[in-house]
């Protein structure tokens, strides 16, 4: 499969009164056509800013993409004009956010909001966009689409609004869909419905997907590969089986040992990562994970490890990756 998205050395900073936050710090990864990639990590690690950088939606000031390339279908998105970028958004790349209410316009009817990109990007007539809109609502499982098109966002439930967002994000058949915590706020049975719809539609359209989440289960169910982020950097990257079964970074091990899952012994004692997430303004000189790491040694204090290929297409950024194993800390699954 050919490469759809190639991100090279992307860095995005925020200048605040307290100092510079390196929210995204020299991040590189690729996404192939039709691939679903999970981007996981805890609060503040830079997942959303990575997505916003791809879309060139980083609020500025205080934010700024300071370096890197975002090559999408052979074109560097960081080099094109804002007018060209507007065409990429919505037409070539669709995005779904956690809180649909903030991304839906409260004063415009749902029909109006669905029709707009169709008329703008695909040059549809009003008639055509109307019939496509109701088709789209039907695809995402909204009953009685014709009536629903006339209603406003506040008249629909959270689950319904998220379905409408999916319909909107996929309406122009984009090559890439970015779903940032798209189901986090929803109840588990509704979350399952929404994720199944996303999977079904993107499979049918051949769309690549970046699922951003802190939920390791969602990634295990829906992604092909996974990137683990911590304090602005990618720390591990590989196929699902590589990363979940043989994690090469102590942070990934820590995450996996922190979540209770239904397939493990019910009485298992969780093994949390000690300490707290570091302050991005004031990171240690060496590895950013050092204060929480059981493997840390001298070298870790002195210099920051870069991502390196530890086995075929499996990358880790840890000086001690050869010693790292899930079972070493006591849990085998």
Partner 1 sequence: MTTTTANSTKDEAISNTQSPLLEIRNLKVHFPVTEGFIIQRQVGVIKAVDGVNLSVNPGETLGLVGESGSGKTTIGRAILKLENATEGQILLNGEDITKSTGNRLRDFRRRLGMVFQDPFGSLNPRMSAGNLVGEPLKIHGLTTTKSDYKRRVAELLKIVGLNSMMAGRYPHEFSGGQRQRIGVARALAAKPDVMVLDEPVSALDVSIQAQVINLIKDLQTEFGLAYIFIAHDLSVVRNISDRVAVMYLGKIVEIGSRDDIYNHPKHPYTQALLSAVPTANPELERNRERIVLEGDIPSPLNPPSGCVFRTRCPLATKECSTQVPELQSVSGNHRAACIKGDWYKSDSSEHESVSEEA
Ligand X SMILES: Nc1ncnc2c1ncn2[C@@H]1O[C@H](COP(=O)(O)OP(=O)(O)OP(=O)(O)O)[C@@H](O)[C@H]1O
Sheet holding 19-32, edge to edge: 19-32, 3-16, 63-72, 75-76
Among 19, 62, 272, 297, binds ligand X (CB under 6 A): 62
For residue 169, the number of C-alpha atoms closer than 13 Å in the C-beta half-sphere is 29
Is 305 near ligand SF4 (CB under 6 A)? yes
Among 244, 286, 294, 326, binds partner 1 (CB under 8 A): 244
Q: Out of partner 1, ligand SF4, Mg ion, none, which partner does residue 48 contact, by CB within 5 to 8 A per kind?
A: Mg ion
Q: Out of ligand SF4, Mg ion, partner 1, none, which partner does residue 305 contact, by CB within 5 to 8 A per kind?
A: ligand SF4
Residues 199-218, one symbol each (x = binds ligand X by CB under 6 A, - = not), give ---------------x----
Closest CA relative to residue 193, chosen from 157, 155, 247: 157
* Cα dihedral: 195, 198, 202, 205 (round 10): 150
Length of the chain measured in residues: 333
| Comparison of 97 and 319: residue with beta carbon closer to ligand SF4 | 319
Is 158 near ligand X (CB under 6 A)? no
Distance between CA atoms of residues 47 and 108, nearest Å: 30
In Å, what is the CA distance from 135 to each residue of 77, 113, 126, 168, 195?
31, 14, 14, 12, 19
| Comparison of 269 and 285: residue with beta carbon closer to partner 1 | 269
Strand stretches in 17-147, DSSP E: 19-32, 36-40, 63-72, 75-76, 93-96
Among 46, 90, 174, 250, binds ligand X (CB under 6 A): 46
Is 256 near partner 1 (CB under 8 A)? yes
Is 315 near ligand SF4 (CB under 6 A)? no
- Please tell me whether residue 11 adopts helix, strand or coil conformation: strand
Is 54 near ligand X (CB under 6 A)? no
Between the two ends of the chain, the Cα-to-Cα distance in Å is 32
Among 210, 287, 307, 310, binds ligand SF4 (CB under 6 A): 287
Distance between CA atoms of residues 116 and 122, nearest Å: 10
Among 5, 36, 38, 47, binds ligand X (CB under 6 A): 47
| Comparison of 124 and 197: residue with beta carbon closer to partner 1 | 197
Smallest separation (angstroms) from ligand SF4 to the CB of 250: 4
Smallest separation (angstroms) from partner 1 to the CB of 192: 4
Cβ proximity of 68 and 254 under 8 Å: no
Is 45 near ligand X (CB under 6 A)? yes
Is 189 near partner 1 (CB under 8 A)? yes
Residue 326: is it exposed, middle or buried by C-beta count within 10 angstroms (0-12/13-18/19+)?
middle
Please choose, out of 33-41, 118-126, 265-273, 291-299, the segment that lies near ligand SF4 by the rule CB under 6 A: 291-299
Smallest separation (angstroms) from ligand X to the CB of 230: 10
Strand stretches in 105-182, DSSP E: 176-180
Among 102, 262, 312, 332, binds partner 1 (CB under 8 A): 262
3-state secondary structure 222-237: HCCEEEEEECCEEEEE
| Comparison of 45 and 172: residue with beta carbon closer to ligand SF4 | 45
Q: Which residues bind partner 1 (CB under 8 A)?
A: 42-43, 141, 157, 159-160, 187-193, 196, 214-222, 240-241, 244-245, 254-263, 266, 268-274, 276-277, 333
Q: Which residues bind ligand X (CB under 6 A)?
A: 14, 16, 21, 23, 41, 43-49, 59, 62-63, 214, 280
């Amino acid at each position: 499969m050919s490469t759809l998205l190639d991100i090279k050395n992307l860095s995005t900073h925020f200048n605040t009164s307290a100092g510079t936050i390196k929210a995204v710090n020299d991040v590189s990864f690729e996404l192939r056509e039709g691939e679903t990639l999970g981007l996981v990590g805890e609060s503040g690690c830079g997942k959303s800013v990575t997505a916003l950088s791809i879309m060139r939606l980083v609020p500025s000031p205080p934010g700024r993409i300071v370096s890197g390339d975002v090559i999408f279908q052979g074109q560097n998105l960081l080099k094109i004009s804002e007018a060209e970028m507007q065409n990429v958004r919505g037409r070539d790349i669709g995005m779904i956010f956690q809180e649909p209410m903030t991304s839906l316009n409260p004063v415009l009817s749902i029909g109006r909001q669905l029709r707009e990109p169709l008329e703008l990007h695909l040059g549809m007539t009003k008639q055509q966009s109307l019939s496509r809109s109701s088709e789209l609502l039907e695809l995402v499982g909204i009953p009685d689409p014709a009536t629903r098109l006339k209603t406003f966002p506040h008249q629909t439930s959270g689950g319904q609004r998220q379905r409408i967002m999916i319909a909107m994000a996929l309406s122009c058949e984009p090559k890439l869909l970015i779903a940032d915590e798209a189901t986090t706020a929803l109840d588990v049975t509704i979350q399952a419905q929404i994720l199944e719809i996303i999977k079904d539609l993107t499979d049918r359209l051949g769309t690549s997907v970046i699922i951003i989440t802190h939920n390791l289960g969602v990634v295990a169910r829906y992604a092909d590969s996974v990137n683990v982020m911590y304090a602005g950097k990618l720390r591990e990257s590989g196929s699902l089986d590589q990363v979940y079964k043989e994690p090469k970074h102590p942070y990934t091990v820590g995450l996996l040992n922190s979540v209770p899952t239904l397939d493990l012994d019910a009485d298992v004692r969780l093994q949390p990562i000690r300490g707290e997430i570091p302050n991005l303004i004031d990171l240690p000189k060496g590895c950013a994970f050092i204060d929480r790491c059981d493997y840390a040694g001298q070298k870790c204090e002195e210099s920051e490890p870069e991502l390196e290929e530890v086995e075929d297409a499996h990358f880790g950024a840890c000086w001690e990756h050869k010693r790292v194993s899930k079972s070493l800390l006591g849990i085998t699954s």
